[in-house]
Amino acid sequence: MLIYKILLPAEWAQFEATGRFDGSPLDLRDGYVHLSARDQIAGTARRFFADVPDLVVAAVDAQMLGAWLRWEVSVNGGPYPHLYAPLPRAAVVAVHRVAGAESVDDVVPRT
């Protein structure tokens, strides 16, 4: 199963350089890496990245995350996938560059 992480281009560059993503400021504040299922990413993008002109959406193989991945209900509904560990680059199976939040559904394939 694929799940997704929306990143700023600078976050993606650091992720590639280090081989892991420890989290955005929101992730670090909440204590886990926020991820989304395919049907949740457009809403997540609009809610948190509406004014950002360029995004990177990383498709992640959920099975590679093991017991560190938990599906939990959030204030925006759910359940949403939350990762209680750094996200390893090896778990990323595809990368989609997106021209803003409104383009997520047009760029990320449905499986």
pLDDT digits (tens, 9 = 90+) for 63-103: 999 999 999 998 777 799 999 999 999 999 999 999 999 99
**What's the number of domains the chain is made of?**
1
* 110 occurs within a structural domain: no
* 111 occurs within a structural domain: no
CATH code of the domain covering residue 33: 3.20.170.20
Q: Is the pLDDT of residue 51 over 90?
A: yes
* 74 occurs within a structural domain: yes
Q: Answer whether 60's CB lies under 8 Å from 106's CB.
A: no
Domain of 6 in residue numbering reads as: 2-104
Q: How far is it, in rounded angstroms, from Cα 108 to Cα 111?
A: 9
Q: Answer whether 46's CB lies under 8 Å from 105's CB.
A: no
* 70 occurs within a structural domain: yes
pTM of this structure: 0.94
Question: Is 109 strand, coil or helix?
Answer: coil
* 87 occurs within a structural domain: yes
